[in-house]
A and B are shown apart, each in its own frame.
Chain A
């Protein structure tokens, strides 16, 4: 451990990059494997010759063509998008109002309400999907995508409210007092003061609601069996796996394509999401 401070610092950075390599290999290997599989011919996928880690014969777009034109992938994509967008809008409307009331307006039980919200976030889908099966059936929504419109908010609203309470509570009270003195109503105060100031929190909550809706698997799998009503997750899973015949190329290509929207979302807005997630627990 000799040498100048700068040299030691440099060595530390180099060692850190070196230590990062195994993690990156672990994280990226399955994705690489999916990607190359989706461009291999069926013959090459099932061939036992050569190096499976490389595409050896000419790459093909056949799997992607099949996904896009011979399956209902595009329908599932629009279903997923529609449900995720509507759920996100609903979620944000409910969460913004509730978080505003809980963080600023005193009312009977407001102290316990926040704890209640947090607890409901911890109720996983694996606990509720059976009673929901009955509820969805009674409402006549079995086998339609619409049942997800009221199921997904149970997963998104509690956490989004929780994130937003944090952001709203951090807004200085002087700001709403000033607005109030100027004659603003509660709703004006919300739209003119709270929402603009807490916009990073709004972005984080919106991303959360969208990605959770996009990724949900259990509910669509349990309640939707009609192909034209499926989401991407259960659509790819149930139709591309038929008995003993696996369409590996299509399966991998479809899984990657279906992940693209959320990965793009994160590529641009990751910082907001990370801040929203961690600001609650750090400090």
Chain B
């Protein structure tokens, strides 16, 4: 991977460029808008949210870590922590697994079919998530919707999809799997294509069965890509807002809230901006850790 690696440990070649020192000033002007954007609209708001999280509700008094302490003592907050981890771990696991299976299926198809079905499989990921979540909301509607009707037809029992904590969690996770599996598929499919065919041929000559070829050729060749994609998806899934907001609004009784939706609930809807900030900031160490692993993986892959 050229991009990140050349940034992390590459160094632009000397010679031609070093003759042109004046270029440096041009370069400063060219990165200035990006720099201003990052500092003004990402770093500054981030630092400001830390400051904000240390104030009282009316934002008139500095209260130190009280907002954080309140959250940590609150059962609801721990429910949100548990939900966020459960939602992320389960959804990412299924997305990564189903994405790999789907990529291998598509990789077996002849060129034309592969192109068409890859495109169709990408639709869930292409569609704006807030809008497709409205579709899922209707799918999970208990009395008039098709899914309970199907369950009953096949001899099962109708489920209270969005009003029971367990099924509401299942619903949000299923929607996330639906949305994210195509992303894994597209990454894996590109990875599968980069594996030299000769490796499979060699394995076949050595008498490796299909499962062994998968275990000893495909998986090791994809391991770095799998790691990066999983970390990437972990960040996006962990910070998801749209699905839970549309499907359950965090209910029933906070049992499906994630950090993002709970921060919205506390900060915007209940009007306690400082405490909402504190909720959102709890995400940061986890996201930072995932980002660290991605960067390390990418940098290491280049050595």
Contact = CB atoms under 8 A, between A and B. Distances in A.
Q: Do A and B come from one complex?
A: yes
Interface of A: 12-13, 15-17, 19-20, 23-24, 26-31, 33-34, 37, 45-46, 48, 51-53, 93-95, 97-98, 100-108, 110-120, 122-135, 150-151, 153-154, 157-158, 161-163, 165-166, 169-170, 173, 177, 180, 186, 211, 214-215, 217-218, 221-222, 232-234, 236-237, 248, 251-252, 255-256, 258-259, 262-263, 266-267, 270, 274, 277-278, 280-283
Contact of A127 (B12, B17, B123, B283): B283
Given A110-B12, A130-B280, A237 B246 contact: yes
B20 to A, nearest CB: 8
Closest 7 CB pairs of A and B: A114-B7, A126-B260, A124-B239, A215-B128, A166-B3, A105-B27, A217-B130
Contact of A33 (B98, B128, B135, B276): B135
Contact of B136 (A30, A129, A173, A215): A30
A127 B52 contact: no
B12 A126 contact: no
Interface string B251-285: 00000000110011001100001001100110110
B2 A274 contact: no
Contacts of A122: 235, 287, 290-291, 294
A282 B31 contact: no
Interface residues of B, number: 107
Q: Is the interface of B mostly helix, strand, loop or mixed?
A: helix
Interface stretch (B69-77, B101-109, B162-170, B211-219): B101-109
Interface centre among B26, B126, B283 (most CB of A within 10 A): B126
A251 B7 CA distance: 46
B187 A278 contact: yes
Given A215-B129, A255-B132, A19 B105 contact: yes
B2 A29 contact: no
B113 interface: yes
Interface string B108-148: 11100100010111111011111110111011010111100
Contact of A233 (B109, B131, B240): B131
Interface centre among B11, B41, B101, B120 (most CB of A within 10 A): B41
Interface centre among B20, B102, B150 (most CB of A within 10 A): B102
B119 to A, nearest CB: 6
Contact of A106 (B12, B45, B130, B283): B12
Contact of A153 (B41, B98, B113, B260): B41
A102 B27 CA distance: 8
B100 interface: no
Given A105-B24, A283-B1, A33 B138 contact: yes
20 contacts: A13-B108, A23-B102, A97-B31, A105-B23, A105-B24, A113-B31, A123-B42, A127-B46, A127-B284, A134-B48, A157-B37, A158-B38, A162-B4, A169-B6, A177-B16, A186-B26, A217-B130, A252-B135, A255-B131, A258-B131
Interface centre among A45, A104, A123, A127 (most CB of B within 10 A): A127
Contacts of A129: 263-264, 267-268, 280
Given A97-B31, A107-B28, 14 more contacts: A23-B102, A97-B34, A102-B7, A111-B7, A116-B38, A117-B34, A123-B287, A126-B283, A127-B46, A127-B281, A218-B264, A256-B131, A266-B126, A281-B228
Given A13-B108, A110-B12, A157-B34, A26 B178 contact: yes
Contact of B45 (A17, A114, A135): A135
Contacts of B156: none
A124 B46 contact: no
Contacts of B149: 51-53
A100 B33 CA distance: 13
Interface centre among A103, A120, A153, A262 (most CB of B within 10 A): A120
Contact of A31 (B6, B20, B123): B123
Contacts of B3: 114, 162-163, 165-166, 169, 280
A27 B1 contact: no
B194 interface: yes
A205 B131 CA distance: 23
B191 A282 contact: yes
